[in-house]
Structure 1
Amino acid sequence: MRLIGLVTGVMTAAAMVAPAMAQTASAPAVLKAATPWAIDYARDSCRAFRKYGTGADQVELVFITLPRSSGATLVVVTSPEKGPGPKRATFGWVRIGLQPGGESFNERYASAPVGESPRRLLYVLLDQAQLDQMIASNRIEIEGGKLDVVLEPGRTAAAFKALEPCHDDLLKSWEVDPEILRSAVNRAVPTGTPQTWVTNADYPKEALQKREQGTATFRLTIGADGKVVGCTILHGSGSVVLDDTVCGLMRKRAKFTPARDAAGKPVPDMWISRFRWELP
């Protein structure tokens, strides 16, 4: 079995080696923006989205974010012809190329059909460095499976600025005061290495027998003493057993140096991360 360890705010597959992406025979067409950026105040997240191109070639770019969390989930909504696989969940590698800087990186993707719709969703977890590069880019190429598109995102930084009120609303829905969190000059910091909080030996037997896997996004409430006083699953893995195991282990093993305000007084904080359970 393989577990993909914890990092602050987003999961990475650091132990996995990305394959070289094949070069396409011809350059993909550049898709212009078809709509302005829009913000979705979702029940469990904040989302910035924009559509590119028209007709069967149309692609929708979605960034899913959470307050006080680094990185984001990138979702690309495509037609089945442009998607990376058949009418079932598929997994693989995607290459994201950025201009004008010329940066590129390979990341794992998960893709699934949208119910009975002919569209597909491709999910990629971005760390903060990757997200910052995408926000600063004026062209983004996304290549994975059958998908190979170039988008001109436009005003991405302004879209992320517009997400801030949504983040505050989401915090309030969790009964968390955004101003108290902002008062922390120094945020709560994990004590030790978060990647060691869950090990291969922790994979639940019941989930192994059923071959259950998936990614759980969770929120830890951290007291002024640095102890975890609560764990909430924000986006489940699809397995109750895996989700319950994540929170149980976080309550037992996660430890933090307390957040402090400008006067040096310890204050409560929160920590959001993701954990991916994965089987070969």
Structure 2
Amino acid sequence: MHAWAMGAAVLSVIASGAKAEEVVLSPSSAWVLDYGDHRCRMTRAFGEGPTRTAFMLEQTQPSDTFSWTVAGPLVDRFGKGKVQVQFAPAFDGFEIDHDASLRVAEFGTAVASVTHEAPPPTLISRTAKPRLRSEPDALSDGTARAARLRLLNPEHGRSIARLTLTKGGESVSLSFGSLEAPFKAMNACMDDLLVSWGMDPAELREATTAARWINSVPLVGKIQEFYPAKALEEGAEADYRLRVVVGANGRVSRCHMILLSRGSDFAQRVCDIMRREARFEPGRNAAGEPKPAFFSTKISYRVY
């Protein structure tokens, strides 16, 4: 794991709006990019002293969307409830639920979400066994759109000047200037991550069909039957990102369960099942040759 920094720190600015009490924060640190083993994360501080706030942008796989977190004393003002979010001026606002339970070390209360509406996750429990739901296109029948390696678009990043969070009469804005350079840095980090998985980013960009899980029905049932006894007794829950690398032979060569939230360790059994029993139709290039690919979905463990 290593870090990369860019940009210059400037002083924060506080302003007041006519309709709501608005706090506008300018950067107070450089961007720092963390090349993790299973994810890429960019962090920057905004404001100083009692308004010091952290913004984190994160991905666990190549994608045209990202997860984000804002943490700091000003988030405490929101309390629980609906929060309006806008990456402005390019994109429309949207609403998220904020339960005020998430915290980030050194900054405090946090609000977090993704830049798109996530699909329904897998729910695994002793009493409920809903159908496994993948990321968009991940269970596609193999179209060029599904196979395309999706990355953050720097042109979109250039048009994002700020992030604004609003609840009632409180509003906090982080002044980015632009997210073009951070998006480019995240894409470079993702290429590095793909190489660490044993994959060729250039080959993935040339793929015309995606890997397709062909025995998902019986394996989903096996995965859903398992809930660790200790975790069930304690009422422990967790959210994971399941990511597998599919070889040209259609077998799982690598498997990772990435913890997305607080929770117990449910990971090992799922990866054992995937490595031993999962079968995929491999991804293919324009010549029809089978090539390595990756498959990903979110799994949520819940007790009912």
Higher-Rg member (1/2): 2
1:113 corresponds to which of 103, 108, 114: 103
1:235 corresponds to which of 251, 255, 259: 259
C-alpha separation in 2, matches of 1:199 and 1:126? 32
C-alpha separation in 2, matches of 1:124 and 1:73? 6
1:54 corresponds to which of 45, 48, 52: 48
C-alpha separation in 2, matches of 1:236 and 1:200? 18
Q: Which residue identity lines up with residue 32 of structure 1 in the other structure?
A: S
RMSD of aligned residue pairs (Cα, Å): 3.9
TM-score using structure 2 length: 0.64
C-alpha separation in 2, matches of 1:161 and 1:178? 15
Which residue of structure 1 aligns with residue 207 of structure 2? 184
What is the CA-CA distance between 1:185 and the residue it aligns to? 3.3
Counting only pairs closer than 5 Å after superposition, residues 135-174 of structure 1 correspond to structure 2 as: 135=157, 136-143=159-166, 148-174=171-197
C-alpha separation in 2, matches of 1:220 and 1:259? 13
CA distances 1:174-205 after superposition (whole Å, capped 9, x unpaired): 333334433423332455989x9469953516
C-alpha separation in 1, matches of 2:290 and 2:51? 53
Q: Which residue identity lines up with residue 239 of structure 1 in the other structure?
A: S
Which residue of structure 2 aligns with residue 265 of structure 1? 289
Q: 1:234 to 1:266 in 2, by over 3 A?
A: same
Q: 1:154 to 1:118 in 2, by over 3 A?
A: closer
Which of 206-215 and 118-127 deviates more?
A: 118-127
Q: 1:277 to 1:84 in 2, by over 3 A?
A: farther
Instruction: Give the secondary-structure state (helix, strand or coil) at the position aligned to 2:21.
Output: coil
Identity of aligned residues (%): 27
Counting only pairs closer than 5 Å after superposition, residues 33-52 of structure 1 correspond to structure 2 as: 33-52=27-46
Instruction: Give the secondary-structure state (helix, strand or coil) at the position aligned to 1:83.
Output: helix
What is the CA-CA distance between 1:38 and the residue it aligns to? 3.3
Which residue of structure 1 aligns with residue 244 of structure 2? 220
C-alpha separation in 1, matches of 2:299 and 2:98? 15
Give the gaps of 5 or more residues in structure 1.
1-24
Which residue of structure 2 aligns with residue 103 of structure 1? 92
Q: 1:192 to 1:29 in 2, by over 3 A?
A: farther
Q: Which residue identity lines up with residue 55 of structure 2 in the other structure?
A: L
Asked if structure 2 preserves the Cα contact closer than 8 Å seen for 1:99 and 1:138, the reply is yes
What is the CA-CA distance between 1:64 and the residue it aligns to? 0.9
C-alpha separation in 2, matches of 1:74 and 1:267? 32
What is the CA-CA distance between 1:92 and the residue it aligns to? 6.1
Counting only pairs closer than 5 Å after superposition, residues 2-81 of structure 1 correspond to structure 2 as: 26-69=20-63, 71-79=65-73
What is the CA-CA distance between 1:62 and the residue it aligns to? 0.9
Asked if structure 2 preserves the Cα contact closer than 8 Å seen for 1:84 and 1:146, the reply is no
Q: 1:183 to 1:200 in 2, by over 3 A?
A: closer
CA distances 1:5-61 after superposition (whole Å, capped 9, x unpaired): xxxxxxxxxxxxxxxxxxxx7232222233343322233321222222222112221
Asked if structure 2 preserves the Cα contact closer than 8 Å seen for 1:82 and 1:146, the reply is no
Which of 213-222 and 144-153 deviates more?
A: 144-153
Greater length-normalized contact order (CA 8 Å, ≥ 6 residues apart): 1
C-alpha separation in 2, matches of 1:192 and 1:239? 27
Q: Which residue identity lines up with residue 157 of structure 1 in the other structure?
A: E
Asked if structure 2 preserves the Cα contact closer than 8 Å seen for 1:236 and 1:243, the reply is no
